[in-house]
Amino acid sequence: MRFRFRILIWLLGLTLGLPFRSPAPLYYTPGEGWYYEPFGQKADWMRSRAQDQLAVAEESFTNGDYAVALRAARRVVRLWPLSDYAPRAEYLIGRCLEKAHRDEAAFNAYETIIQKYPGSAQYEDILWRQYLIADRFLHGEFFRLWNTIPFYRSMDRTARLFGTIVTNGPYSDVAPHAQLRIGVAREKQRDYEEAVKAYETAADRYANLPVIAADALFREGVAYSKEAAAAEYDQSTADKAIAAFTDFLTLYPNDPRAAQAQKAIASLNTVKVQGNFKIAQFYEREKKWAGAVIYYNEVLQLNPNSPYAARARQRIEALKPRLQQVAHR
């Protein structure tokens, strides 16, 4: 045991005694903590005034040196948080993090500006930058584990990012688009109920914006249609989808998607026919003849020329004797 310990001490001493240069020397500044500089660079980016420090951050960002720009901007925020230069420095932090593909961290940096500096001249631009980040997550970008390792996709978190944007500026230029994207994210989750709520909010809140309201109403119909396709016996969802598409056609008859809406209504009526036929079959299996006949008649009323209509007529004729037997009891 003592021999092994001596060998370990000897190896450690030999290692420490060898000349070497650290590829990333560490530096410590009182009040700021540790940071490193890449090999061959000097820590000459620090300044004693907020204005000068921000100038370093701006110049470094313009030159594509995002690592130095990030450190310089963070120093402004850390040492001079109440200065007039802090909001711009926080904005540069977000931009640098975006360049490093750390989108969620960038989103949070922009959120800091909104919460701490609501009077920022770049408020609208910040909301749009948050929107673009959320949209990248909507289109498949991975959220990062420990803000470092790309790990998973999440439409729930994506919807919440868009929701944050709407909350920050419900009547900003970007908010109507963000509200629609909440619905899109929920659809990708297959949470059609929440998707419909998001689209309804967009259609109601931004009714004065025909492009947004029309898109919201059409998407509402689509979301209801998807939900109806998964519902075997509940036809109320199909009715809601038809109502949404009907409202869309009434309010926006010249919209390029009008033909799609009409086709969707026809398809939904087919779904309703099929659904009513299945309900009728269910009642027939349960020997509830009157209920079965009611739903077979619904099939005929919805579409007397459908493939199910002929079968419905046959079943109605077949069930008439049973209904008469029940009536004479």
Which tens digits make up the pLDDT trace of 114-137?
999 988 888 999 999 999 999 999
Average pLDDT, the chain: 87
pLDDT at 38 over 80: no
The contacts of residue 273 (CB under 8 Å, 6+ apart) are 299, 302, 303, 306, 308, 309
- Helix/strand/coil percentages in the chain, nearest 5: 70, 5, 25
Query: Residue 200 pLDDT more than 70?
Result: yes
Instruction: Measure the CA angle with vertex 257, ends 255 and 260; round to 5°.
Output: 145
Structure confidence at residue 323 as a pLDDT band (50, 70, 90): confident
> Of 126, 315, 144, 59, nearest to 323 (Cα)?
315
Question: Is pLDDT larger for residue 194 or for residue 12?
Answer: 194
How many degrees, rounded to 5, is the angle at CA 219 between CA 218 and CA 225?
A: 95
pLDDT band at 6 (very low <50, low <70, confident <90, very high): low
* H helix or E strand, kind and range, residue 176: helix 175-189
- What does the alpha-carbon distance between residue 268 and residue 21 come to, in Å, rounded to a whole number? 72
Helix/strand/coil for 58: helix
Name the residue with tokens 């969620």.
104
Q: Which residue has the tokens 């498949």?
A: 140
Q: Using CA of residue 138, residue 142, residue 146, residue 148, what is the dihedral sign? A: negative
Q: Residues 179, 162: contact at Cβ < 8 Å?
A: yes
Structure tokens at 298: 């619904």
Whether residue 233 is predicted with pLDDT greater than 60 in this model: the reply is: no
What is the rounded CA–CA span in Å between residue 310 and residue 304? 8
- Those residues whose C-beta lies under 8 Å from the C-beta of residue 249, and which sit 6 or more positions away, are 258, 261, 262
Q: What tens digit of pLDDT does each residue of 256-292 get? A: 999 999 999 998 988 888 888 989 999 989 989 899 9
pTM over 0.85: no
Give, in order, the Cα–Cα distances in Å from 192 to each of 114, 155, 321.
31, 13, 44
